[in-house]
Amino acid sequence: RCGITVTRKVGDAVRRNRIKRLVREVFRRNQAQLPAGLDVVWVAKQQAVGLEFVAVEQDFALLCRELARPVRPARSGDNRSGGKRPRGERKPS
């Protein structure tokens, strides 16, 4: 599935709708490259206004390659929270 968000900051309705049509078509043509069961949400920024189909398709291909890479398992003891506990929580004894 594909979700597309384009805020009013991007431009008038004509520009926003053009971006949505462009993204929808890129997704339709290339969704087979994505892993099964994956939902994609696009958030268009101001820079998307002047993009051509080929540029959006290249970005989507890059995304697909990134998603296809295997994920490294976390090392045991890998604490990404910075070691801080919520207020009031004590150290285990």
Residue 25 is predicted with a pLDDT of 93
Is 52 part of a structural domain of the chain? yes
50-53 long-range contacts, Cβ below 8 Å, gap at least 24?
Answer: 51/19, 51/22, 53/22, 53/25, 53/26
Task: Give the percent of the chain with pLDDT over 90.
Answer: 24
Our count of domains for the chain comes to 1
Task: With respect to residue 47, please indicate whether it lies within any of the assigned structural domains.
Answer: yes
What's the count of helices (H) and strands (E) in the chain, helices before strands?
Answer: 2, 2
Local confidence band at 72 (pLDDT 50, 70, 90 cut-offs): confident
Its domain, for residue 52, covers: 2-68
Residue 80: per-residue pLDDT:
62
**pLDDT tens-digit map of 15-44:** 999 999 999 999 999 888 887 888 888 888
Evaluate whether 54 touches 81 at the Cβ level (below 8 Å). Answer: no
Closest CA to 11 of 53, 44, 50, 49: 49
Q: Is residue 77 part of a domain?
A: no
Query: Could you tell me the pTM of the whole model?
Result: 0.66
CATH number of domain containing 55: 3.30.230.10
Mean pLDDT computed over 54-83: 78
